[in-house]
A and B are shown apart, each in its own frame.
Chain A
Amino acid sequence: MATQHSRSAARVMMAPAVFLLLVWMLVPLILTLWFSTLDYRPMRGTFDCCEGLGNYTRFVTSSAFLSSVVTTLQLVGGVLLITVIGGILLANLLDQPIWGQGVVRILVIAPFFVMPTVSALVWKNMFMNPVNGLFAHLFKALGLQPIDWLSQAPLFSIILIVSWQWLPFATLILLTAIQSLDSEQMEAAEMDGAGPISRFYHMTLPHLARSITVVVLIQTIFLLSIFAEIYVTTGGAFGTRTLTYLVYQRVIESQNVGLGSAGGIIAVILANIVALVLMRVVGKNLDA
């Protein structure tokens, strides 16, 4: 049992972390909340009080808001679909007895460590460029007309780039989960005549359910704030403006801080809804 002495020592040891996180969270958030009620445009020198909820109404009713929410959902949904399904299949493949499994694993994980600006620029220039990109060469070799990926299919291109970055994450986590599956149970099922598909469906998938939930939620948190990939590829043009990017443009590019801050608060609220669900799942693990 912990003594009174160690309890107070524990409190002292926790204090710096708790204090810093509290300041880090509250100060900027309160400032943002305050700014969101102002007509605050530094370039024009306006700093007028008492917009009330005007900025919120203006932000939500602008056509840019709705389309940015749709774009965000498409981006997050598309990447989740590709990475989760791809991750399940790939993790199952890597769990099979194969030669050089360690090396293949290293190859598959690699994209996760590439910094976002590098992967976005490499894909943009060396693969998706309509003249010199590898995809253009490939299309020409097949007798097809090369397409300008980032202006003809901009959102799809960004989904592709982001999925490439996150597929390793999903694969790695699902592989870790699969490897903890009881192999004796699997053998028993095999002996009882369960085919590979029914074993996958009735045993592997239920076992993976919790890990899949974790992958979906964590990726959602990160994907909601995707920034660099859009910044260096399209700069938010051609319908690739997500909610995060819209807020960035309002606040930094057009310097309408009041309006942007209202958007920021809305982004915080939306992200918190996802976060609450994630914390329930992670929290359950604390009791286990």
Chain B
Amino acid sequence: MARAVTTRRKIAYTALAWIIGLTIFFPILWTILTSFKTEAAAIADPPVFFNFDWTLENYAVVQERSDYMRYLWNSVALAVGSTVFGIIIAVPAAWSMAFVPAKRTKDILMWMLSTKMLPAVGVLYPIRLILIETGLLDSKAALIFILMMINLPIIIWMLYTYFREIPGEILEAARMDGAGLKAEILYVLTPMAIPGIASTVLLNIILAWNEAFWTLTLTTIDAAPLTAFIASYSSPEGLFYAKLSAASTMAIAPILIMGWFSQKQLVRGLTFGAVK
């Protein structure tokens, strides 16, 4: 039974919630709006909101001057690459821990989590050195590996919590019917695990896309993704608000949309299953 609510109260709550929601969203909205302004309109005083001459020029300029597509491609390669490799390594591990738990499973899971908590800066120099010595500094391969490693504990944990929700009775029934390990995985578990794997993939692409410690410290040109591209605007010359906005809008739009689809998984993934 829902509690009876007076309409007046509902109006008040709705108004308040919308005002706060729009305030929080405003910086993003403002960035998107500014990306369609001329540089002069972008710094107009008083600020203009919708009544300006809309232009797509900034997007063209950003692409032309800085080869935006290359950074975009690097971002895609790093995010997708690290997620795919992470999933390939994590699925078997999470599967075995969820369905064949041993005495030490819990300890292993906790230890994996603990590697995530190592402050990156503590190991920055050795990793940089290793990459320089092997000629892999500023290479996509190295970044894909590093992003995979920093997200691997989260991937394993998320998959583990999803896999654990698959009822064990189904597995027993399959075994009774004579299904071997391979058949069990292929025909019983995989179909049930796909939604969990999909959510994990989504969340990890978001995390890898936005990662901004390793991508800023280990790339210069060749492997630099959008995080580094945007950072290059921190010491600009001349008028640049509209161009910064256009570059920013392009950098956040795909992830914003993916993020909205993954709200629920976000909670589970980032709390390591502690809040569902």
Taking the nearest CB of chain B, how far is it from the CB of A216, in angstroms?
12
* B112 contacts A21, C-beta separation under 8 Å: yes
A-B contact pairs, 17 of them (CB 8 A): A14-B108, A28-B127, A31-B123, A90-B20, A93-B13, A101-B17, A110-B25, A113-B206, A115-B209, A116-B210, A116-B227, A132-B43, A164-B24, A187-B3, A265-B122, A267-B119, A286-B109
Which residues in B have their C-beta under 8 angstroms from that of A116? 210, 212, 227
Query: Is B153 among interface residues, defined by CB-CB distance under 8 A?
Result: yes
Q: Is A77 an interface residue (CB 8 A)?
A: no
Interface residues of A (CB under 8 A from B): 2, 5-7, 9-11, 13-14, 16-18, 20-21, 24-25, 27-29, 31-32, 35, 90, 93-94, 96-101, 103-119, 121-127, 132, 134, 137, 140-141, 164, 167-169, 172-173, 176-177, 183-184, 186-187, 190, 210-211, 214, 218, 221, 224-225, 227-228, 231-233, 244, 247-248, 251-252, 257, 260-261, 264-265, 267-268, 271-272, 274-275, 278-279, 281-283, 285-286
Which residue of the partner chain, among A99, A186, A227, A257, contacts B14 with CB atoms under 8 Å? A99
Task: Point out the residues of chain B lying under 8 angstroms from A93, CB to CB.
Answer: 13, 16-17, 20
| A218 engages B271 (CB within 8 Å) | yes
Given contacts A107-B22, A115-B226, A248-B124, contact A13 B93 (CB under 8 A): yes
Bound together, the chains give a CA A192 to CA B227 distance in angstroms of 55
Give, as a whole number of angstroms, the nearest-CB distance from A194 to chain B: 13
Contact B121 A278 (CB under 8 A): no
Contact across chains for A247 and B121 when beta carbons are under 8 A apart: yes
- B24 CB to closest chain A CB (Å) equals 5
Main secondary structure of the interface of A (DSSP, over half): helix
Which residues of the other chain, B, contact A184 by a CB distance below 8 angstroms?
1
B residues bordering A, Cβ < 8 Å? 1-3, 5, 10, 13-14, 16-18, 20-22, 24-25, 27-28, 30-31, 34, 43, 45-47, 89-90, 92-93, 95-97, 99-102, 106, 108-130, 149, 152-153, 156, 181, 206, 209-210, 212-213, 216-217, 226-228, 230-231, 233-234, 240-241, 244-245, 248, 251-252, 255-256, 258-260, 263-264, 266-267, 270-276
Q: Which residue of B lies closest to A180 (CB)?
A: B276
Take A13-B93, A17-B156, A115-B212 as given contacts and tell me if A252 and B124 are in contact as well, using a CB distance cutoff of 8 Å.
yes
Question: CB distance A115 to B241 under 8 Å?
Answer: no
Q: Pick from B181, B231, B252, B271 the residue with the most CB of A within 10 Å.
A: B271
Q: Is the CB of B129 within 8 A of A31?
A: yes
